[in-house]
Amino acid sequence: MTSNEKNYVDMQGLQRNFGDVAALDGFNLQIQKGELVALLGPSGCGKTTALRLLAGLDMPDGGKISVDGKDITNIPANKREMGMVFQAYSLFPNLTAIENVAFGLKVRGQDTNSRLKKAGELLELVGLSTQANRFSHQMSGGQQQRVALARALAIEPKVLLLDEPLSALDAKVRTQLRDEIRRIQIEVGTTTLFVTHDQEEAMAMADRVGVMSNGKLEQIDRPNIVYSSPTSAFVASFVGAMNRLPAKLDASKVHTLGQSVAHGGGASGSDLVALIRPESIEVSVGKTSGSKTGSVLARSFLGPQTRLTIVTSETKTNIHVDLPSSEAGPFAPGTLVELKISAPTLLTDYRVKN
Amino acid sequence: MAQKMKIKTSTVAPRLGFGLNAWLIAGFLFFVVPMFSAFLFSIQLGDGTYTLGAYQRMLSDPGFGEAIWISARLAIFTVLVSIGLMLPTVTWLHIRAQRLKRVVEFITLLPLIIPPVVIALGFLGSMPLWLKDSVYMLVFAYTVLTLPYVFRSLDNGLNAIDVKTLVDAARGLGASWRQVLVSIIGPNVKSSIYGAIFLAVALVLGEFVISNLLLWSTLPVWMALVGMSDPEGAVALSVMSLVFVWLLLMLLSSFDRKRKVRIDIGGVS
> Which CATH number do you get for residue B109?
1.10.3720.10
So what's the pLDDT on residue A283? 85
Contacts of A108 in chain B (CB under 8 A): 174
- Which pLDDT band holds residue B16 (cuts at 50, 70, 90)? low
Q: Which of A84, A92, A93 sits opposite B172 (nearest CB)?
A: A84
Are A34 and A189 within 8 A, CB to CB? yes
pLDDT at A318: 85
| Closest listed residue to residue A229, CA positions, set A186, A176, A265, A204 | A265
pLDDT in the model for residue B84: 93
Among chain B residues, CA nearest to A54: B172
Q: Report strand pairing: A208-213 vs A36-40.
A: parallel
**Distance (Å, rounded) from C-alpha A179 to C-alpha A192?**
14
Establish if B56 belongs to a structural domain. no
Q: What value does the mean pLDDT take over residues B65-94?
A: 91
Same domain, B38 and B142: no
Query: Are B7 and B131 found together in one domain?
Result: no
- Say yes or no: B66 and B43 in one domain: no
Nearest to A94 among B172, B176, B188 (CB): B188
Inter-chain CB proximity B173 and A92 less than 8 Å: no
CB contact under 8 A, B172 and A151: no
Specify whether B205 is located in the same domain as B264: yes
DSSP character string of B155-199? HHHHHTTTHHHHHHHHHHTT--HHHIIIIIIHHHTHHHHHHHHHH
Answer whether B168 sits within 8 Å of A84, measured CB to CB.
yes
The verdict on residue B82 lying in a domain is yes
Question: How many domains does chain B divide into?
Answer: 2
Q: Could you report the predicted ipTM of this complex, rounded to two decimals?
A: 0.79
B263: chain A residues, CB-CB within 8 Å: 135, 137
Shared-domain flag, residues B17 and B65: no
Verify that B108 and B198 share a domain, yes or no. Answer: yes
Decide if B21 contacts B13 (C-beta within 8 A).
Answer: yes
User: What mean pLDDT is reported for chain B?
Assistant: 82
Q: A106: which residues sit within 8 A by CB, 6+ positions away?
A: A115, B183
Asked, for residue B112, whether it belongs to a domain, the answer is yes
Contacts with B179 from chain A: Cβ below 8 Å: 107
Same domain membership, residue B114 and residue B19: no
In a domain, B44, yes or no: yes
Which residues in chain B (138-177) have CB-CB distances under 8 A to chain A?
161-162, 165-166, 168-176
Domain containing B127 equals 61-268
Q: Are residues B20 and B123 in the same domain?
A: no
pLDDT band at B121 (very low <50, low <70, confident <90, very high): confident
Best probe of the A interface among B158, B162, B173, B259, by most A CBs < 10 A, is B173
Please give the residue of chain B at the shortest CA–CA distance from A82.
B172
pTM of structure:
0.77
Beta bridge partners of A10: A30, A66
Report the pLDDT averaged over residues A113-124: 87
A165-187 confidence digits (pLDDT tens): 888 888 888 888 888 888 888 88
Distances (CA, A) of A233 to A3, A12, A341, A349: 33, 24, 19, 5
Q: Is A137's pLDDT higher than 50? A: yes
Question: How much is the mean pLDDT over chain A?
Answer: 84
Considering the domain architecture, whether residues B240 and B108 belong to the same structural domain is answered as yes
Does domain A3-235 correspond to CATH entry 3.40.718.10? no
Is B165 in contact with A86 (Cβ distance < 8 A)? Answer: yes
Cβ(A177)–Cβ(A146) below 8 Å: yes
Contacts A–B by Cβ distance under 8 A: 79
- The answer to whether the Cβ–Cβ distance between A155 and B166 falls below 8 Å is no
Do B43 and B176 fall into the same domain? no
Chain A residues whose CB is inside 8 A of the B162 CB are: 88-90
Rounded to the nearest angstrom, the minimum Cα separation between B133 and chain A is 42
A283, A310 contact by CB (below 8 A): yes
Q: Do A90 and B166 touch (CB under 8 A)?
A: yes
Domain boundaries, chain A: 3-235, 244-349
Confidence category of residue A68, pLDDT binned at 50, 70, 90:
confident
Residue B79 has pLDDT above 90, yes or no: yes
Is A107 within 8 Å of B179 when comparing Cβ atoms? Answer: yes
- Asked whether the beta carbons of residue A84 and residue B263 sit closer than 8 angstroms, the reply is no
Are B159 and B225 contained in the same domain?
yes
How far is it, in rounded angstroms, from Cα B15 to Cα B95? 45
CA distance A14 to A314: 48
Distance, CA of B96 to chain centre: 29
The answer to whether the CB atoms of B173 and A134 lie below 8 A apart is: no
A138 and B267 within 8 Å at the Cβ level: the answer is yes
If you count them, how many residues does chain B have? 269
C-alpha to C-alpha distance for A24 and A17, rounded to whole angstroms:
7
Does B133 lie in the same domain as B14? no
Of A77, A106, A138, the CB nearest to B266: A138
Of A75-79, A219-223, A346-350, B228-232, least confident by mean pLDDT is A346-350
Residue B77 pLDDT > 90, yes or no? Answer: yes
Secondary structure (3-state) at A229: coil
CATH fold group of domain A244-349: OB fold (Dihydrolipoamide Acetyltransferase, E2P) (2.40.50)
Neighbouring residues of B89: CB distance < 8 A, sequence distance ≥ 6: B104
pLDDT of B222 strictly over 70: yes
CB-closest option in A83, A89, A92 to B184: A92
B95 has a chain A CB within 8 A of its CB: no
Q: Flag whether B146 is in a domain.
A: yes
pLDDT tens for residues A276-294?
888 888 888 877 777 778 8
Q: From residue B256, how far is each of B5, B158, B191 by CA, in Å?
A: 17, 16, 6
